[in-house]
Structure 1
Amino acid sequence: MEESLRAQIEKIVKLTDDEYKIVLTYFTQRSYKKHQYVVQANSPAPNDTFVVKGLLKSFYIDDAGKTHIMQFAMEDWWISDPNAYHNKQNATLNIDCLEDTDTFFISIDNREKLCAEMQKMEYFFMKKTTAGYIALQKRILSLMSQRAEERHTQFVQLYPSLIDRVPKALIASYLGITRETLSRMTTL
């Protein structure tokens, strides 16, 4: 598992073996079972989670009880409730496991200490955060400007491995459409 985290970091910055040993001291390893919550709304969300193996979803439940899928996170992806994590507030989002999942996580306090100790890691987290903001902007623009069919096609192109791993109802929620609409689109 440790090599997955190192490979993720080294896509952006190279680390010596000694540097990586230091980095590991700031992370905690944890496994979750399918349907287990990593974060629950209205509770603290002190960690940013790196997925080594498995699949998670983040979602919001509105006042009418409707579930809105915000993000999926599979192997080699990060997931958190950014507002709760960075501002040390209670979560707005829920994050749970769609499959048994192995993770590494880092608290905001440990992240700040690690970044102060190692400039390479500050650069790594800055690049990962920026990439996340860009992806979020693209997702919002897609929801605002594309038709359902276009959003579905884009999802299939960007995340082909998720099609067989995520229930269609959750994909529909992520796309902002009904399950019935998704079924009509996929049977054409």
Structure 2
Amino acid sequence: MERLRKHIEEITSVTDEEFDYIKTFFTLKQVRKHQYLLQDGDQATHEYCIAKGIFRVFYVDKDGKEHIVQFAQQNWWMSDYGAYFHQKKTNMHIECMESGEVFSTTLYGREKLSADLHKMEHFFRVKLTNGYVGQQRRIISLLSSTPQQRYEEFAELYPNMMQKIPKKYIAEYLGVSRETLSRLYSENRA
């Protein structure tokens, strides 16, 4: 739980007593490679903070094609937020790409912590805002950047993911074919 405390204290300080209370709302879960935290049709009951590992959040369209919404790594938060905040069934999947650990909390836990401790409301707002900004940046990049620019931006922002995520998923995330990604990779190594 100390990792969770350090993560929270990147944004706001907490006393020992406050953290003793905060940690009662979180569960640490070990996750195996290829294990799903959420699958299409599940009730989205939890939000996850990654303690260790890399995850992908994706949905599958009516033709069976996967679309990656997000990769997530240590200290990132993930869920199907539309389903989570409205307590509905999800149409997303969350898959662990390498063995990892997550801290999870329910919507009730998040809301109770936010009501009881203003600093936790601030923490959750900052994390959600940062995620929203990242999603907007990604959408703008997909709409206005060339494949080369998207590749370079991804490589610069997430160098460790370039080494750990299979190329087919990176290609899918960038909106390019596997062949195009191979060409971009070769050009950037030259």
- Report the equivalent of 2:66: 67
- Report the equivalent of 2:27: 28
Per the normalisation by structure 1, the TM-score is 0.97
SS in 1 for 2:136: helix
Per the normalisation by structure 2, the TM-score is 0.96
* Structure 1 residue identity aligned to 2:62: D
- Report the equivalent of 1:3: 2
Per-residue CA distance 1:42-62 (angstroms, 9 max, x = gap): 111111101111111101111
SS in 1 for 2:14: coil
- Report the equivalent of 1:167: 166
- Report the equivalent of 1:86: 85
The percent identity for this pair of structures is 42
Q: What is the correspondence of 1:7-22 to structure 2 with a 5 Å cutoff?
A: 7-22=6-21
For 1:64 and 1:92, how far apart are their aligned partners in 2?
14
- Report the equivalent of 2:127: 128
Contact 1:59-1:95 within 8 A present in 2 as well: yes
For 1:27 and 1:82, how far apart are their aligned partners in 2?
18
SS in 2 for 1:30: strand
Per-residue CA distance 1:157-179 (angstroms, 9 max, x = gap): 00011011000000000001111
- Report the equivalent of 1:110: 109
Per-residue CA distance 1:63-105 (angstroms, 9 max, x = gap): 1111111111111211111111111011121001101111110
Q: Moved runs in structure 1, 4+ residues, more than 4 A?
A: none
- Report the equivalent of 1:40: 39
- Report the equivalent of 2:100: 101
SS in 2 for 1:131: helix
* Structure 2 residue identity aligned to 1:54: G
Per-residue CA distance 1:96-149 (angstroms, 9 max, x = gap): 110111111010011111111111100110111111111111100000000000
Contact 1:51-1:73 within 8 A present in 2 as well: yes
SS in 1 for 2:41: coil
- Report the equivalent of 1:58: 57
For 1:156 and 1:4, how far apart are their aligned partners in 2?
26
- Report the equivalent of 1:49: 48
Provide the aligned C-alpha RMSD in A: 0.8
For 1:89 and 1:151, how far apart are their aligned partners in 2?
33
- Report the equivalent of 2:148: 149
Paired positions, count: 187
Contact 1:4-1:76 within 8 A present in 2 as well: no
For 1:162 and 1:154, how far apart are their aligned partners in 2?
12
* Structure 2 residue identity aligned to 1:120: K
* Structure 2 residue identity aligned to 1:155: F
**Shift, 1:3, TM fit:** 1.5
- Report the equivalent of 2:136: 137
For 1:145 and 1:27, how far apart are their aligned partners in 2?
39
For 1:49 and 1:186, how far apart are their aligned partners in 2?
32
